[in-house]
Amino acid sequence: MSFVTHLECANCGQRYEAAQVHNLCPACQRPLWVRYDLTALKRAFSKRALFGRPPTIWRYLEMLPVNDPANIVSLTETITPILETKRLAAEFGLQHLFVKDESRLPTGSFKARGMALAISKAKEFGITRVAVPTAGNAGGAMAAYAARAGMEAYVFMPEDTPAINQKECYLAGAKTFLVNGLITDCGKIVGEGKQTKGWFDVSTLKEPYRIEGKKTMGLELAEQFDWQLPDVILYPTGGGTGLIGMWKAFAELEALGWLKSPKKPRMFACQSTGCAPIVVAFDKGERFAKRFENAATIASGLRVPAAVGDFMILDAVRQSGGLAIAAPEADIPKWMRLASTKEGIALCPETAVCLGALELLMQRGAVKSDERILVFNTGAAQKYPEAVTAPLPRLDVTKLIDWEKI
């Protein structure tokens, strides 16, 4: 049974029928929220109902928009672990630093959550052809879930997208195209092709359901922390669906009465100095971000010069008492290596930006040493070989080994 009541524009508040297919709000071309009858949900669904359910995102089915479980398209989206990182915490002078490792999900990134919901809803609506612009992991996830559902998939990505992302789309059977531009240029192609090719656009926040998949990050971490949320969440922010989805999850959990405290985390949107439109808007006190010109970062998932959900990100950050902050682009490889050296956790470059941001936040006194701080590792480092150079020494087996140099 679905408890969805309607869709609602995040900008103008216009309501739409949930039983109809929608992309952006027809009135103002901004993203749509999925809204639920939380009063009825509270009566019908309790925390006790979670006991014994499989450890996947579908344990929260009543809080998700799929009407018929038969339409679920899944690759087993497991609950991802939260790892306490004591040695890494010591580097920052912190007592409690945690990493939620999304690299354990299908296709190696958090994008699996959003695409599992988006493709499941597309199946429910009878959609058979989907398209997406991507700067990295979203394309691979969409291609995999479309393949699982038997749908035709089209992926458009900047030509300098990491090679592994290109190959995983191809392997999953998606019609994959390299574009001599940024993700926003790819998005224009997808938008222009809707009429001609008849595909459904599953771009970030241009349909209502990927955010519902990302919402499960907030539901999960609340359950993992025994319904007592952490003090601070650092989130690598490109399109921002995960940050927005978590903030929505916390509001819904509060309405259900599941949280032990009304105190919610301060949300920190972390970007690279190479592409920081949200940070610029935040610093200027603006609700909508201007396009960030000449965007360039090895954290490909953060290379989003103009996010359609910019105001939703900024609203969540400000409501939470958090900040938007940019870390130095040049330091990304350093933080990737430090996390792996200290903890054995292979952070993606997007998450490395969060560590750079954490260093700046500590210097500013914006976070306290005794707070519980959670960082999201949104993908596997192994998918970004271009981001790390490893000048390894070589040994010549035809000569005696100089053990003093080893």
Average pLDDT over residues 188-209: 94
Q: Give the sheet arrangement for strand 200-201, strand by strand.
A: 175-179, 152-158, 129-133, 200-201
Give the pLDDT band of residue 284 (cuts 50, 70, 90).
very high
- Confidence bin at 386 (pLDDT 50/70/90): confident
Distances in whole angstroms, Cα of residue 254 to Cα of each of 50, 248, 367: 17, 10, 24
- Residue 102 has a pLDDT of 98
For 332, the token pair is 């990304």
Cα 49 from chain centroid (whole Å): 27
Q: 209-238: per-residue pLDDT in tens? A: 999 999 999 999 999 999 999 999 999 999
Grouping H, G, I as helix, E, B as strand and the rest as coil, residue 266 is strand
| Mean pLDDT value across the chain | 96
> What topology does CATH give the domain 82-108+211-387?
Rossmann fold (3.40.50)
Pairing between strand 152-158 and 266-272?
A: unpaired
CA distance 309 to 293: 18
Per-residue model confidence (pLDDT) at position 231: 98
CA dist 362 and 150 (Å) reads 48
Closest CA to 227 of 245, 244, 250, 248: 250
pTM here is 0.95
105: three-class secondary structure by DSSP: coil
Phi, psi of 275 (to 5 degrees): -160, 95
* Percent with pLDDT over 90 in the chain: 93
Write the pLDDT tens digit of every residue in 351-372: 999 999 999 999 999 999 999 9
Residue 313: what pLDDT?
A: 98
Instruction: Place 155 in a pLDDT band, splitting at 50, 70 and 90.
Output: very high
Which one has a higher pLDDT value, 102 or 390?
102
**pLDDT on residue 388:** 84
Contacts of residue 234, Cβ cutoff 8 Å, sequence gap at least 6: 268, 270, 354, 357, 358, 373, 374, 375, 376
CB 385 within 8 A of CB 164: yes
User: What's the chain's Rg over C-alpha atoms?
Assistant: 21
Gap between the Cα atoms of 386 and 162, Å rounded: 7
Instruction: Please give the single-letter amino acid code of residue 85.
Output: T
Whether the per-residue pLDDT at 17 is higher than 90: the answer is: yes
The pLDDT assigned to 60 comes to 98
Q: Do residues 142 and 206 make contact, with C-beta atoms less than 8 angstroms apart?
A: no
Query: What span, in angstroms and rounded, lies between the C-alpha atoms of 154 and 10?
Result: 28
Beta strands in 329-381 (DSSP E): 372-377
Residues 159-183: tens digit of each pLDDT: 989 899 999 999 999 999 999 999 9
Please report which helix (H) or strand (E) contains residue 82, including its range: strand 82-84
- Which stretch of DSSP H or E encloses residue 179? strand 175-179
Question: Which band of pLDDT confidence, cut at 50, 70 and 90, is reported for residue 104?
Answer: very high
Task: Reply yes or no on whether the pLDDT at 335 is more than 80.
Answer: yes
Query: What residues does each domain of the chain span?
Result: 82-108+211-387
Percent above pLDDT 70 for the chain: 100
**What is the identity of the amino acid at 42?**
K
pLDDT of residue 404: 86
- The region of weakest confidence among 111-115, 185-189, 348-352, 384-388 is 384-388
pLDDT tens, residue by residue, 38-70: 999 999 999 999 999 999 999 999 999 999 999
